Chains A and B, each alone.
Chain A
């Protein structure tokens, strides 16, 4: 114990002036504590607001194509799946169809592991025909709860 305290004293002497005025609890330390306290209260405040706003019962999934790239004779349609509601979902099945009038010419599907609430995930669908020649429709066909 005595060894420790002498070592502590030595350490304290090497510290800044603040430390010498009031050993142990310098102004800097209190500033750091204050900033941290504010940060923590902000986080808690956000969570309380989030909790009060309530998370809705169904997910609101919007799938939008981003880019179509032709490679090796196939067409890769990259998409962004956005979950606009306050509920996270898992195993989201994304379906893409190429329509020629009422007729479905081609379809393709992909599965996204998770789309958290108010977040987005990217993926791609692969078609053999050029999506630009047809009417491309992307939508989520189902999900499970995480």
Chain B
């Protein structure tokens, strides 16, 4: 049951990347060491994420580590299967390219596999056991939420194209809109699953400690993702910043609804 759900989650969340041309190309032009680092970072992130929800009820660190690796394996198998069926990956390709193509899919896939329980499973009964995240935990969930959407969009050519088309004033406008949306999504619209962390806390307090801190974290995550995918190579400061601001729009939305989807 849990494994089936994990496969379903991996498929659902990796499908946008699985069907993106630029993601296939990443398989051969991504720097192998950057790819290795991305995979290495994924493991502790999943371990930490399983504290707040995984595909089975696990509270012990050892189980969470095991679950993280299961999520990665499930994601890799699901990605390999789909790419084989699509004919994107075949036996005649150099191993390096095949591994690259599948590895790019592992981040969204393993996140999906891990979130499958929270998203698709019957969670209300188990909710009692899941620890309520503290401030650092909330920020961590925001980072994962950002990664979740960013990793799907970052490989596409559109991110850089939009960045080239925008002038600095439009970028400032985007930053302001993103911040406003982030704050509104989390604390004004009162979606299911969101909560006011401290009843009675004022607008400014929440805005500064969640929206602004969250947004800066989202920007850092996106800078890392863009670097991993080679989008910052040879780019000047303005262009890099511009791409980060563009990618932070979906990233921030992901961060804002992190409590909903995670």
Contact = CB atoms under 8 A, between A and B. Distances in A.
Interface residues of A, number: 43
B212 A40 contact: yes
Interface string A92-104: 0000000000000
B175 A24 contact: no
Interface residues of B, number: 39
A25 interface: yes
Interface stretch (A63-71, A114-122, A131-139): A114-122
Interface of A: 3-5, 7-8, 11-12, 14-15, 19, 23-26, 29-30, 32-33, 35-37, 39-40, 43-44, 46-48, 50-51, 55, 86, 88, 90, 114, 116-122, 146
B241 interface: yes
A114 B163 CA distance: 12
A44 B175 contact: yes
Contacts of A46: 237, 241
A119 B235 contact: yes
Interface string B16-33: 000000000000000000
Interface stretch (B42-50, B79-87, B107-115, B128-136): B128-136
Q: Is the interface of A mostly helix, strand, loop or mixed?
A: helix
Given A39-B216, A40-B216, A47-B168, A114 B201 contact: no
B236 A119 contact: yes
Contacts of B245: 43, 47
B164 A90 contact: yes
Given A36-B217, A47-B175, 5 more contacts: A36-B208, A37-B212, A44-B172, A46-B237, A122-B234
